């Protein structure tokens, strides 16, 4: 990748996949540009990790797995979603193809709000990823999980999970999970 040093754009999926990981940063490929995001805050990661464990427990008996922060090829874009549910991934894989993904979840951070709310859902829908979840973490407020399913090429809201009640929603057409938002954010003592 040294020959690409100094470029502002024109990066490819091959360039993105050849990058050396940078601890504490997530580097995504968006329309030929490398976009660097800082490491998530503890609250963000607590929600993502706990949700990932919940999803992984639900899908493992069905031959799927849930992973956090893996590179996903979405057309000519390279994203690092907070959580994906996918077919099993080879340990030597650098990234996975969106065709292997059945659910993608993004935990919205202040620096990624526009991308997580607008750009990524459009790209995921164009790639035919069946289910998209967006987790909103407003300061000082409990999280809200918006669950969407692909319907004629666009995501339609199918459920909203907040602290008022637990809900059961689909992870895949055949697998559901019960979401308790309070359990995702509770600090341990």
Q: Residue 85: which pLDDT band, with cuts at 50, 70 and 90?
A: very high
DSSP secondary structure code for residue 165 in this structure: B
Most confident of 28-32, 38-42, 124-128: 124-128
pLDDT tens, 169-178?
999 989 999 9
Architecture per CATH, 41-185: Alpha-Beta Complex (3.90)
Q: Which residue has the higher pLDDT, 104 or 90?
A: 104
**Mean pLDDT of all residues belonging to the chain:** 88
What's the pTM value of the predicted model, to 2 decimals? 0.86
The stretch 141-169 carries a mean pLDDT of: 92
3-state secondary structure of 71: coil
Domain ranges of the chain: 41-185
Q: Rg for the chain (alpha carbons), in Å? A: 16
At 5, the pLDDT band (50, 70, 90 cuts) reads low
């Amino acid at each position: 990748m040294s020959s690409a040093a100094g470029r502002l754009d024109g990066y490819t999926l091959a360039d993105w996949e050849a990058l050396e990981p940078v601890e504490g940063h997530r580097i995504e490929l968006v329309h030929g540009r490398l976009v660097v995001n800082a490491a998530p805050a503890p609250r963000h990661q607590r929600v993502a990790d706990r949700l990932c464990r919940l999803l992984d427990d639900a899908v493992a008996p069905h031959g799927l797995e849930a992973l956090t922060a893996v590179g996903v090829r979405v057309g000519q874009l390279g994203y690092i979603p907070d959580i994906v549910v996918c077919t099993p991934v080879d340990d030597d894989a650098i990234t996975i193809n969106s065709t292997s993904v059945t659910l993608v979840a993004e935990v919205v951070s202040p620096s990624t709000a526009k991308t997580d709310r607008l750009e990524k859902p459009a790209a995921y829908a164009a790639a035919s990823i069946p289910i998209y979840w967006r987790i909103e973490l407003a300061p000082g407020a409990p999280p809200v999980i918006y669950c969407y399913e692909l319907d004629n090429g666009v995501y339609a809201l199918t459920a909203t999970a907040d602290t008022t009640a637990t809900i059961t929603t689909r992870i895949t057409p055949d697998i559901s999970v019960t979401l308790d938002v309070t359990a995702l954010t509770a600090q341990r003592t």
